[in-house]
Amino acid sequence: MNDGLLEKYAAKSSTSLGRTHPESSPAYRGEFQRDRDRIIHSTAFRRLEYKTQVFVNHEGDLFRTRLTHSIEVAQISRTIARSLQLNEDLSETIGLAHDLGHTPFGHAGQDVLNDCMRDYGGFEHNLQSLRVVDELEEKYAEFPGLNLTFESREGILKHCSLKNARILGEVGQRFLNKHHPSLEAQLTNLADEIAYNSHDVDDGLRSGLITLKQLREVELFNSLYEDVDKNYPDLPTRRKIYEIVRRLISCQVVDLIETSKARIEQAKPESITDVREHDQPLIAYSDSMREQNLAMKRFLRENLYMHYRVRRMSSKSARMLRELFGAFMDDDLLLPPEYQDKVRQQQRESGDSGKARIIADYIAGMTDRYANAEYSKIFDPGSLT
């Protein structure tokens, strides 16, 4: 992307804060294009195809996975960035990378792994995503990880405890200073919310766990439903749902763009430094849309995420990961040989905390079906493979 087409406060490839391991600039790509391409070619990105969003992969071919969700976040991020004359390449990069450290089985996996790691430094999936791109990917001869730019790493690290921020160096400093990331990182964070709220509605309806009647109790959804029903009364239900969902995405994106434009015009930032040091984020919804968005989140939490069928699968998968973690901690010889070597090295340096971290890396990197297969191999007496 041509830096000359961007606003003065946008993140620019030519003024990037650089990479941990210095590299010469790419010949025909910008720095953030290179980051995006490295993510797309990474092992962790491919694994997202078989990691749960809400519904476990085997429950249906058309439900979102972490991969399709990440692609949708990147698409929404590009649209917002282009409308605000911000860096599309960086926004897309962050969108594609934001879930690279997510565990199998969605949030249930994250929660149980954090509980297992409670005495060993805890587990944060945002921090794990950064760990994946900084250390765990093994593809390049001259450095570990993907060696992404500071701006991409900053955007990946959406949340971070102050304890961890203190040991992360420059990329964690904003949490200590109470500063904000780039506008590209800010907009991608909200694009993530837009994507999962809207598409969890779609998947929830497709699964039958929530109904149109229930959703009509949510103001934002009902207003869109009534408009579609009025204009297309004879439209088949599936197409009607799709029309509502696309409008649900659109109205949130338009509100976000228009509100953010107004906030930026009022703040008048002259540089990306001004963006980071401003007293509040400059990318935001209007007050009305924020309230409607929160109402949608509450509805999904109470009616979809807490649905007994989702809870049963979450409970089953949590038990599976907890038992895998315990088994590997009790006997690390159950791990694949390459992880045994890593355990030995980390145990010498950090004791049991180092051992636990390698086991957490292994489990977090699993796809749903790989975790299920590992559990069967270790605990199922009938499995001899």
What pLDDT sits at residue 166? 92
pLDDT digits (tens, 9 = 90+) for 283-308: 999 999 999 999 999 999 999 989 99
Asked whether residue 256 carries a pLDDT value surpassing 60, the answer given is: yes
How far is it, in rounded angstroms, from Cα 30 to Cα 132?
A: 22
Q: Which pair of tokens denotes residue 81?
A: 């960035």
Q: DSSP string spanning 179-195?
A: ----HHHHHHHHHHHHH
pTM over 0.85? The answer is yes
Q: Is residue 345 part of a domain?
A: no
What is the reported pLDDT for 384? 56
Q: What is the mean pLDDT of residues 9-14?
A: 96
The band of 383, judged by pLDDT with boundaries at 50, 70 and 90, is: low
The beta-carbon contacts of 89-92 under 8 Å, at least 24 apart in sequence, are 89/1, 89/13, 89/30, 89/32, 89/33, 89/35, 89/36, 90/11, 90/32, 90/35, 90/151, 90/152, 90/155, 90/182, 90/184, 91/184, 91/187, 91/188, 91/191, 92/36
**Cα–Cα distance for residue pair 97/275, rounded to 1 Å:** 22
Contact by Cβ (8 Å): 244, 221: yes
Mean pLDDT of 121-129: 93
**Max CA distance (Å), the chain:** 69
75, burial (CB in 10 Å: exposed 0-12, middle 13-18, buried 19+): middle
Residue 104, token pair as written in the block:
């199998």
The pLDDT of residue 370 is: 94
**Which residue type sits at 183?**
L
Average pLDDT in the 54-75 region?
75
In this prediction, residue 1 carries a pLDDT of 66
The secondary structure of 321-385, three-state, reads: HHHHHHHHHHCHHHCCHHHHHHHHHHHHHHHHHHHHHHHHHHHHCCCHHHHHHHHHHHHCCCCCC
CATH number, domain containing residue 228: 1.10.3210.10
Quick check: is 98 in a domain?
yes
- Choice among 156-165, 266-275, 278-287 with the minimum mean pLDDT: 156-165
Residue 385 binned pLDDT confidence (cut-offs 50, 70, 90): low
State whether the Cα torsion 336-337-343-346 is positive or negative.
negative
| pLDDT for 58 beyond 90 | no
Residue 233's CB is within 10 A of a number of other CB atoms, namely: 8
What pLDDT sits at residue 106?
83
CA distance 223 to 197: 16
DSSP code of 381? T
Question: How many structural domains are present in the chain?
Answer: 1
pLDDT bracket for residue 60 (50, 70, 90): very low
8 Å CB contact between 147 and 20: yes
Residue 299: inside a domain: yes
Structure confidence at residue 380 (pLDDT): 84
Asked if residue 108 is part of any domain, the answer here is yes
Specify whether the CB–CB gap between 234 and 195 falls below 8 A: no
Specify the pLDDT at position 222.
96
Would you place residue 55 in the very low, low, confident or very high pLDDT band (cuts 50, 70, 90)? low
Mean pLDDT across 42-70 = 77
Please report, as a single letter, which amino acid is at residue 91: S
Overall average pLDDT of the 368-383 stretch? 88
Question: Which residue range forms the structural domain that includes residue 113?
Answer: 3-309
Has residue 376 been placed in a domain?
no
User: Span 37-62, mean pLDDT?
Assistant: 78
> Residues 223-247: pLDDT tens digits?
999 999 999 999 999 999 999 999 9
Separation of alpha carbons 168 and 170, rounded Å = 7
Within-domain flag for 282: yes
- The mean per-residue pLDDT over the stretch 147-174 comes to 94
Give the number of other CB atoms < 10 A from CB of residue 238: 10
What is the model's pLDDT at position 236? 96
Helix ranges restricted to H, 208-336: 212-215, 219-231, 237-267, 272-277, 287-300, 308-330
66 or 288: which carries more pLDDT confidence? 288
Q: Tell me whether residue 365 is in a domain.
A: no
d(CA 116, CA 353): 11
Name the one residue in this structure whose structure tokens are 């009305």. Answer: 288
Residues 274 and 11: beta-carbon distance below 8 Å = no
Paired strand residues for 19: 149
> How many other C-beta atoms are found inside a 10 Å radius of the C-beta of residue 357?
19
* 10 falls within a domain: yes
Q: What is the mean pLDDT of the chain?
A: 93
Residues 6+ apart with CB under 8 A from 138: 144
